Amino acid sequence: MTKQLPTELKRQRGTLRADRQNPAEPILPSTIPPTPTWLSEQGQKSFIELSLLLHDMTVLTLADSMALEMLCDSYSEYKTAKEVVNTLGSTEIVMSREGNAKTVIRPEVQIANQAFVRVFQLLKEFGLTPSSRAKVNAIEGYASTPDIKIENFFSNDD
């Protein structure tokens, strides 16, 4: 069974048909939810930047705030783990009980890999990858925020 797409996404893709429309689908306005205080500093920064970007894309509602929180938390976890791997390397030497040295993969490698999978899946859900974005047509008349660009989001360390 294929995933049911929201009406707005069908409208933006140009595939909306009356016979495929859910007349009882909730319609929520695009809005920027409050930044959660429990997120790390990096997570909060990501939340603010992505909130503005997704609001400009008219795809963010209050109902999406939990998914956005999870995206930003996972991205923060990914970035933290990758910083450890980039600094200390992907392996470490540990001593066995018998006193033998053994090279093992650092736990942060697995943490980064698992966080990457979560981040990538959530990016697709929000239409933030080239292939998922290519399936959506922009709605005319909506202003964009020129200083927030998805291309800069993941490459900017500030």
- What pLDDT is recorded for position 45? 96
Q: Is the pTM of this model over 0.75?
A: no
Residue 25 has, within 13 A of its CA and on its CB side, a CA count of: 15
101 neighbors 93 (Cβ within 8 angstroms)? yes
Written as tens digits, the pLDDT of the chain (158 aa) is: 456 666 766 776 777 787 777 777 777 788 899 999 999 999 999 999 999 999 988 888 888 999 999 999 999 999 999 999 999 999 999 998 999 999 999 999 999 999 999 999 999 988 888 877 766 654 444 444 444 445 555 555 54
Long-range contacts of 125-130 (CB under 8 A, 24+ apart): 125/67, 126/50, 126/54, 126/59, 126/60, 126/64, 126/67, 126/68, 126/71, 127/9, 127/57, 127/59, 128/50, 128/53, 128/54
- What pLDDT is recorded for position 148? 47
Q: Which residue has the tokens 């509602």?
A: 61
- What pLDDT is recorded for position 28? 79
The amino acid that residue 100 corresponds to is N
- What pLDDT is recorded for position 141? 47
| Token representation of residue 148 | 């927030």
Residue 31 has, within 13 A of its CA and on its CB side, a CA count of: 11
- What pLDDT is recorded for position 5? 65
Which of helix, strand or coil describes residue 9? Answer: helix
